[in-house]
Amino acid sequence: MRRRASLVLLALAFFFAAMAPLLRWYAFPRLAKVPPGQYQEVVLEAKDATLLDYYGGMKAKKVPKVTIVQTLKGDVAASEEIEKSAGRDVVVWNTLTHIVDDKGRMVSQIPERYIFDAHSQAPVHATGESVDGAPVRREGIEFKWPFLTEKRDYEYFDAQARITAPIHYKGTRKFRGLEVYYFEQTVPWRQVPMPRKMPIPDISAEAVTKTGMTRWYTTKRMFWVEPVTGAPVNGEEIIDTELRDARKMGLSEDTVTAFAGHVKMREDYIAHTVDLVKSQRTLVLLLTSHLPRGFGVLAALLIALSLWLEARSRRPRSPAAEPQPELAANS
């Protein structure tokens, strides 16, 4: 009976020992994915910013606040269509960055179409990949880091400049009870395209470009990334945008600040993001750490118990425990 029990325990031990690496290396890449139908909205603000007054005088002035609303919506139908040729799970995000001044008037609108691998977040190049209606070929990440983010630099795509540049790992920090990795990227002054949707009615980006006026941009980008999920729980940018050769458009100065400010996530959106990431972090840890380690420990315990039972079954019985033969009756 003990030998049979030890064989059952040994079989269970091998089962759990096999499940541990399968969960980490087989199940995790197939189960940990960005959902294709995700919808998300984030509000950022730049207080005491400098903004070009498009609606009166075309001069830069200080404003109490500039608000940036970023919406992200997954296109499930497009994802399924691209997956047929890509041979892997793909996510298509349609995003819109909508900027308004302190009076709620539109300053800029920049749409994007971002296509990437659902697990690794690596870009997937397909028809429709674009920024502000112009085709692009992204390299590196954007919006989200990979699951199990590493302590290293990554390549990050800048949608304004439409270039990829390193974003540098600057250390581990504590943020709202989470251990996060802090990243920084600086994009030096660079000429960038005019937005297609201009705040001034009846003036197109093409007409402005033909005058010879140019748009220049620099930024310092900062992210606090929860490494298990790869999700940024906070993001900030120090942005400076100028219009140069502006006299060609009839402005009084040759170089005019279009926008300058420190953009930060609004507090309520930080709190919501942190709560969401904490719940997702638990699920990822189950697949990558808790269950594989638990199964490994359980397998070791089952093997030890199986060997103990096997040893007990082979131990010779003591003479006192052996049955004594009956004495023959005296004749």
Q: What is the pLDDT of residues 23-37, one digit of tens each?
A: 888 888 888 999 999
Domain count, the chain: 2
Mean pLDDT value of segment 85-101:
94
Q: Do 135 and 252 sit in the same domain of this protein?
A: yes
Residue range of the domain that includes 84 = 32-265
List phi, psi (to 5°) of 83.
-60, -30
Are residues 217 and 254 both part of a single domain?
A: yes
d(CA 65, CA 131): 26
On the question of pLDDT at 239 being above 90, the answer is yes
Please compute, for residue 207, the number of CA atoms within 13 A of its CA located in the half-sphere on the CB side.
8
Which pLDDT band holds residue 329 (cuts at 50, 70, 90)? Answer: very low
pLDDT (tens digit per residue) in 127-165: 999 999 999 999 999 999 999 999 999 999 999 999 999
The answer, yes or no, to whether residue 92 has pLDDT greater than 50, is yes
Look at residue 6 and tell me whether its pLDDT is greater than 80.
no
How far, in Å, CA of 94 to CA of 74, rounded? 6
At 313, the amino acid letter reads S
d(CA 258, CA 64): 15
Q: What is the 3-state secondary structure (H, E, C) of the chain?
A: CHHHHHHHHHHHHHHHHHHHHHHHHHHHHHHCCCCCCCEEEEEEEEEEEEEECCCCCCCEEEEEEEEEEEEEEECHHHHHHHHHHHCCCEEEEEEEEEEECCCCCEEEEEEEEEEEECCCCCECCCCCCEECCEECCCCCECCCCCCCCCCCCEEEEECCCCEEEEEEEEEEEEECCEEEEEEEEEEEEEEECCCCECCCCCCCHHHHHHHCCEEEEEEEEEEEEECCCCEEEEEEEEEEEEEECHHHHCCCCCEEEEEEEEEEECHHHHHHHHHHHHHHHHHHHHHHHHHHHHHHHHHHHHHHHHHHHHHHHHCCCCHHHCCCCCCCCCC
Residue 58 predicted with pLDDT over 50: yes
Residues 123 and 212 in one domain: yes
Res. 12 pLDDT band, cuts 50 70 90 = confident
Domain shared by 152 and 106, yes or no: yes
pLDDT interval class at 317 (50, 70, 90): low
Whether residue 146 sits in one domain with residue 11:
no
Together in a domain, 159 and 230: yes
In a domain, 182, yes or no: yes
Give the percent of the chain with pLDDT over 90: 65
pLDDT tens column, 251-281: 888 999 999 999 999 999 999 999 999 999 9
- Domain shared by 62 and 3, yes or no: no
Backbone dihedral angles phi then psi of residue 278, each to the nearest 5 degrees? -60, -40
**d(Cα 127, Cα 230) in Å, to the nearest integer?**
26
Helices 291-314 and 2-22: crossing angle in degrees, nearest 10, is 160
Q: Is residue 310 part of a domain?
A: yes
Asked if residue 247 belongs to a domain, the reply is: yes
Task: Taking residues 155-178, report their average pLDDT.
Answer: 96
On whether residue 270 sits in a domain, the answer given is: no
Residue 133 forms part of a structural domain = yes
Is the domain of 155 the same as that of 230?
Answer: yes
Question: Do 73 and 6 sit in the same domain of this protein?
Answer: no
Over 50: is that where the pLDDT of 331 sits?
A: no
Distance between terminal CA atoms of the chain? 43
The residue-averaged pLDDT of 187-199 equals 93
Burial of 320 (0-12, 13-18, 19+ CB in 10 A): exposed
One domain, residues 164 and 306: no
Report yes or no on 154 lying in a domain: yes
- Higher-pLDDT residue of 325, 111: 111
Instruction: Please check whether residue 219 is in contact with residue 186, taking contact to mean a CB–CB distance below 8 angstroms.
Output: yes
Q: Looking at the structure, tell me whether residues 24 and 40 fall in a common domain.
A: no
**Same structural domain, 117 and 73:** yes
Name the band, by pLDDT with cuts 50, 70 and 90, for residue 328: very low
Q: Mean pLDDT across the stretch 161-170? A: 96
Is 164 a domain residue? Answer: yes
- Residue 103 belongs to some domain of the structure: yes
Predicted confidence at residue 103, as pLDDT, reads 92
**Token pair of 249 as six digits:** 């458009």
